[in-house]
Amino acid sequence: MKVAIMYSGGKDSTFAIDHAMEKGWDIRYLISIKPTRTDCYLFHYATVEHTKELAKILKIPHILEKCSVADPQKEAEIVKRIVEKKPDVEVIRPKVSVEKPEAKHAEPSFKQTSKYKTLVAIMVIVFIGTAVFVVGGAFIVMRK
């Protein structure tokens, strides 16, 4: 099955990639939408800027678009336009539900690959860097 995955860089969309790979689906591209405002309904703001590099590590084509509206229907239209321009997918998977895994042959899961370990390491580094930045900023504010 040819799929496109909505990718925010967070744990849910990263799990969607893992799930699609374990199912043997052909991930044609990742779609990330970066809001230019904080009141968007459908898209995350925090980690989207990292999705470009994460997609390179995963070797999956990536589409990064901006969103300057705060209306669920207009936001969904952005994704629809992307898919209409690149109609080589059968399904869009923004999130997946956790299912009991099917019995597999000797193929390693995505979690057992070096790509997964690299992705997790980068996500940890980004999280730690963000935490240090926030704590450092709070410390500076408190000292004033």
Which residue would you say has higher pLDDT here, 109 or 70? Answer: 70
Residues 64-83 have a mean pLDDT of 84
Residue 2 — very low, low, confident or very high, per pLDDT cuts 50/70/90? confident
Worst-scoring range by mean pLDDT, 34-48, 54-68, 93-107?
A: 93-107
User: What is the per-residue pLDDT for 97?
Assistant: 45
Class (C level, CATH) for 2-97: alpha beta
Q: Which residues of 4-36 are buried (b: 16+ CB within 10 A; e: fewer)?
A: bbbbbbeeebbebbbbbbeeebebbbbbbbbbe
Task: State the pLDDT at residue 103.
Answer: 52
User: Residues of the chain with pLDDT > 90: what percent?
Assistant: 5
Whether this prediction's pTM lies above 0.85 is answered by no
Q: What is the mean pLDDT of residues 113-117?
A: 76
For residues 133 and 43, what is the distance between their CA atoms, to the nearest angstrom?
A: 23
Q: Is the pLDDT of residue 105 over 60?
A: no
Asked if residue 34 lies in contact with residue 48, where contact means CB atoms within 8 angstroms, the answer is yes
Least confident range from 11-20, 38-47, 88-97, 102-111: namely 88-97
Q: At residue 108, what are phi and psi to the nearest 5 degrees? A: -75, 150
Taking residues 105-124, report their average pLDDT: 70
Mean pLDDT of the chain: 76
Residue 84 in this model has a pLDDT that exceeds 70: yes
